[in-house]
Structure formats: structure tokens, C-alpha cells
Structure 1
């Protein structure tokens, strides 16, 4: 195990199994040292810029790397039994879209067919009204008809509706999980997960086996939904809904953001207030409404100024321009291979 390449899944898993080393630190170590043996033999001075003194001490414990390597091998063995691929960020098959994220996971657990670059996230409230149900099916159907794969989180509500609509319209769909792939959450969507795999879809998580979908992991999952996608479609949400985490990540990752505009009685529904905020309020008022702080607030004000943060979809007549925007953005992404965008990058909405 000491001769393991640090940039393989086995190498990264070994590093993260060591006391005090998280995913980001593991990736930094892998970038600096090609073999685990090189880390074990490195002088403390060469490690101080990468890890703490306590981690350096643990790295030089005689059995530390061997024990961590055994833990990593158990994970890989279980993955093999479950038909799950474990991808390192250094692997060629690691999703291109995620490489642009500064907080990308160095290891992914994947079951099924890897996602295409032509992917969009469709997310929203866990308690959609009639409006949320209608627009989820209508928009997903249009996207699938234009050969876009649908990314969502397998949660109840809009996530489930989006996955089901993608399958119903004979499209591909990707479920980003907040826990390990050894357990489907919620359990009521176990059959849906099987159908996703049967139809050339994918289940993906950054969490190892046995890790539950905790609130923190659910938020972390949201950044992967938007990160895997060219754009995010928010079907329905309150101004303080959990979907706003994905909205934040979408903006910070410089992805496109779309939202259908509720009208008539639907506009008065609590679950529509977030959509109205995204599509009608200027960026400053929206930032105040969602209590945006720090980098998120700065990006909102610099990039959008007096414009809404989401492209509004008021009717089906807007779908043609929606698809044009997606194709334009995809073309730019393919040319740049999704290089990380600077925080000040201006995103044209038209």
C-alpha cells in the first residue's frame, strides 16, 4: 500500500482515512507527492505548508499509512461488490463539469452511466403545489426533447417529479445523493433509483458507504447538482426554502439560472415567493430577501446589478429562447472545457 499512487481512488481514500486529513488536504498532498511512500518519507519542512503539525506527526506513525490503506481497500472491495465505481479527481472519467469547482470532491462514488456535459439541474420544494407539478413536467419534457439530461437530488417533491418526468419522456436522469450509495433516501424512492439505472442514468455521491444524508451533507449535495449542470431550473420554492442553497451555488459557480413565473392564484402561494424573488426583484433586493452575505452577496451585486438573478420563463413562448441560451452556454463551455470562472465574471442573461 505504501507504493500506491496518491492520485488514484485508493490513494485518495487512504489519505482521507488518516487522522486530520480531509478531502481538500488529500487532494493537495496528491498534487505534491505522487506516491504514499513519498509522503511518509517527506521531511516535516516539506509538509508544513500542506498539513498541521499534528497531521505530520500522525503521518510518521509506523502503522498509520498501513491501517489507512486497509480501510481504503475495504471501501474499494465493497464498491466492487455493489457495482459502484470510485473515481478520483485525477481520473480521466471524472465528470468534466465538476473539475471547475474550487471545492470539488476528490473522490466520487458512481453507479450507472456517467453524465453527459448536456446536463441541467431541475430542483425545487419538497411540497410542490399544482403549479410546481405542472411546470416540472412541462419544462423537463421540453429539455429532454432537446436532448438534455436531468440532474436532481432524488428527494420527495420536485426532485421526484423531475426524475419521473425525465423517464416518462424517455430521457436520461442523474440522482445526486446526500448519503452513501448503499442506502437510498428516502426509501420510498428505491424503485425510482432502480428505474434511473435501468434507463442509462446514474446515482452519484461524494459520501462513502454508511454515511447518512445529514443536513450538512444535503447542502453539500446541492453544490454537486448545480456543478454537474450547465444550468439550474428552480421549479418552485419559498424565499427561504432549501432550494436556495442550490441557487447560491448556481450563482457562485457561474451557471445559468432559470425559473418559471407563477401567475394568477399561483403567484400568491407561499411556495412561489422564492421564484418571484428570483425572476422579478433586482439583485440587491433579492440579496436582502435571502440574506446573502460575503462572496455570494458580492457576486449578486456585481454580476446582476439591477437585473433579476434568474431568467424568467413566463410561458411556453419563452422555451425557444431558453433552449438557445443553453446551447450558447454549452458551446462556450465546450470551448473552454469548463475552466473555473473568476468571481467577477459577468454572465449575460440574454
Structure 2
């Protein structure tokens, strides 16, 4: 491991105490603090013993667990560190990322890049895969990085096509860096890093039960939204879908799309009239209805028209940010 800040370990240690979550950490630890100061803050919040000795014991235990990540992790960065990535959108305190474990080029999360999350169903058919690949290829050639969750199906297709198109891609895991999920994509994760991309996780310990693992998946989904300028749905069932050709109805993509809307970030869907009765586009149709009349629809026949819209949208956002910065400076 090449880089791990004391600040990151201090924050991870604070998060081991009961009733301490992301919101508390975001509000109290966004500026670098010594462990003594953190202990004083914890004493006011938690109903368990807190002192420097207890804090240091937990600190050392976390250091050992992080050491076990070995060469799978290049570094750990946390809120307050100079290299900690800034999120997109209006993200509430409890949803803010606090600590990121990474392998690869962390700078790809910078807001200087155009990052597009491309997500979808676990079992797309050949036509969906073909259209998604064409869409991702267009995004990459227009200069975008591709963000996804390394899952089977549409996520894996997005990552793979980004690499084939000569682009960079960012994989966000629901597991520690040394326990890639799904296992079928361990090699893909390695290729992402080898070709200048990035793999990240919020976790240094694996989930020990189904409930915790489900929580990790949902938390992963929010990161897809808040580290992307737009969340793009390739194809997905809705929770109410029925498909006579598929007994496994998954609609996990809805979590990231819901978070994009909550954070006031753009979301888009791949769609064409040829999919009118296709159950794997039920969620796409639902999003179109929810976002009507301003729904962003990407035709697999002309995906580049979407990126023209996105570039214009980002220009407007940059102008607003610059105006805000100038106002803060007194201009």
C-alpha cells in the first residue's frame, strides 16, 4: 500500500463507536483533527467508555485489518484529506462518503472529469448488450469516463466496452478490495486498473450476513450516482415486472437512479420504440414517466446527441460554480 493517512484511520476508528455514523463524521470531522480532539467529541456523543487508550487499541486493530488488504489497495483517503474526492449534487450528510479505499487512479473521481454511470439488469439479452456497447463507445469517444458497479450483466458490459474503446472506467464495489464481488469479475477489475482506471470501496471488512451485504449493495449504488455527472440506465426490470422468459427479476439499478434524483443530478435512459413491449425496459419506461416532460432519452441509434446535451448542461453548471466562487471572493 502506497498511501494511507492518519486522518483516515482516525475517522475509521471513530466510526467503530456506537451511534457514530456518516452524518456525525461529516459534521464533526471534515477538518483534520488529532485523536485527542476526536475522543473529546466522542465522549459527548456516545454511551460507552471513550479514552485515548481505547481509541488507540481500535486504531491499531483497524491498521492491521487494512494491512491485510495488501497489494489489492493502493491507498485510503478520507474526509479532510487533500485528495478526497468531491461529490456531485446535493447530497445529505448521512449519504456523504467518509472514507474511500482505492486501487488505481483516484484522480478520475475529480469533478474536472465527465463521469457517466452506466448501470442495468444482470441478465441482458444480446440486443441490449449490442445497444449498450454502442452507447458506451460513443460516451468514451466523447471523452467521458464510465462509472459502474462491476456487477454481472450491464455493469460488466459497460466496464468492458469502456476498456475496448480505449477509455477509463471506475468500478465501485459492495465489498473490500481484496474480496471482489462478483468473483467472476476479478480479472476485469485487474484490467480496469492496468488500463489506468480505478476500483474503489468503502469497506475494509467483508459483510458477514445477508442483511449487511444487502446494505453494502445499496450504499454502493448511491456512490454510483454521487460520483457521476449523470446516471444512465441501459435496461432494467421494475419491481413489478413479470418476464415469462426469466424467473430472476432484478431491479437493483433503481437504487442508484433514485439517489440521482434525490441529489438533483441528471438521470437518463436508453430507449427505442423497438423495446415497447420488452419487460427488461419496464424501469426505463417508469423513469421516462417520472421525469416527463424533461426525461432524457438516449437512442441507441444516435447516442452522441445525449452527450451534446450533457456538455451544454455541464457548461452551465461550471458557470454557476464560477459565479458562486467569485461572489464568495467579493467580486
TM-score, normalised to structure 1, is 0.77
SS of the residue 1:214 aligns to: helix
Q: Is the 8 A contact 1:231 1:257 kept in 2?
A: yes
Q: CA deviation at 1:179?
A: 0.9
Aligned to 1:8: 7
Measure how far apart 1:76 and its partner are.
4.2
- The separation in 2 between residues aligned to 1:88 and 1:243, in whole angstroms, is 27
Q: Which residue of 1 aligns with 2:144?
A: 148
Q: Distance in 2 between matches of 1:166 and 1:138?
A: 10
**Equivalent residue for 1:21?**
20
* Higher mean C-alpha displacement, 126-135 vs 147-156: 126-135
CA displacement 1:67-108 (0-9 Å, x = unmatched)? 122123224433565343111121121122358532112101
In the alignment, the residues of structure 1 paired with residue 160 and residue 42 of structure 2 have an alpha-carbon distance, to the nearest angstrom, of: 55
1:170 to partner: Cα distance: 0.8
Residue in 1 that maps onto 2:305: 321
Q: Distance in 2 between matches of 1:94 and 1:8?
A: 11
Alignment of 1:233-272 (within 5 A): 233-240=232-239, 241-264=251-274, 266-272=275-281
Cα distance, 1:322 vs structure 2: 1.0
Task: Give the drift of 1:167.
Answer: 0.7
Kindly indicate whether the alpha-carbon contact (under 8 Å) linking 1:118 and 1:149 is maintained by their aligned counterparts in 2: yes
1:3 maps to none
Name the CA distance, whole Å, in 2 between partners of 1:210 and 1:59.
26
Match of 1:275 among 280, 284, 299: 284
Gaps of 5+ in 1: 1-5, 284-303, 339-350
- Seen in structure 2, the aligned counterparts of structure 1 residues 98 and 84 have a Cα distance that, compared at 3 Å, is farther
Q: Deviation at 1:329?
A: 2.7
Q: Which residue pairs with 1:87 in the alignment?
A: 77
**3-state secondary structure, aligned to 1:21:** coil
Question: Runs of 5+ in structure 2 lacking a partner?
Answer: 240-250, 323-331
Q: 1:124 to 1:151 in 2, by over 3 A?
A: same
1:139 counterpart SS class: helix
**CA distance change for structure 1 residues 33 and 315 in 2, over 3 Å: closer, same or farther?**
closer
Q: Secondary structure at the match of 1:59?
A: coil
- 1:109 touches 1:207 (CA, 8 Å); kept in 2? yes
Residues 112-121 or 141-150, more deviating: 112-121
- Residue pair 1:131, 1:262 contacting (<8 A) in 2 also: no
Match of 2:133 in 1: 137
Change in CA separation of 1:132 and 1:25 when aligned onto 2, cut-off 3 Å: same
Query: Where does residue 228 of structure 1 map in the other structure?
Result: 227
Conserved? CA contact 2:8–2:77, under 8 Å: yes
Counterpart Cα distance in 1 of 2:320 and 2:155 = 30
| SS, match of residue 49 in structure 2 | helix
Q: Count matched residues.
A: 299
Q: What's the offset of the Cα at 1:32?
A: 7.7
| Map of 1:312 onto structure 2 | 297
If the length of structure 2 is used for normalisation, what is the TM-score? 0.81
CA–CA distance in structure 2, aligned partners of residues 94 and 39 of structure 1: 19
Computed over aligned residues only, the root mean square deviation of the Cα atoms, in angstroms, reads 2.7
Q: Distance in 2 between matches of 1:76 and 1:335?
A: 41
Do 2:268 and 2:296's aligned partners in 1 also have CA atoms closer than 8 Å? yes
Q: What pairs up with 1:1-350 in 2 under 5 angstroms?
A: 8-31=7-30, 34-41=33-40, 47=44, 51-52=45-46, 54=47, 57-60=48-51, 63-79=53-69, 81-97=71-87, 101-102=91-92, 103-114=95-106, 115=108, 116=110, 117-211=113-207, 214-240=213-239, 241-264=251-274, 266-279=275-288, 281=289, 283=290, 304=291, 307=293, 310-314=295-299, 316-317=301-302, 319-335=303-319
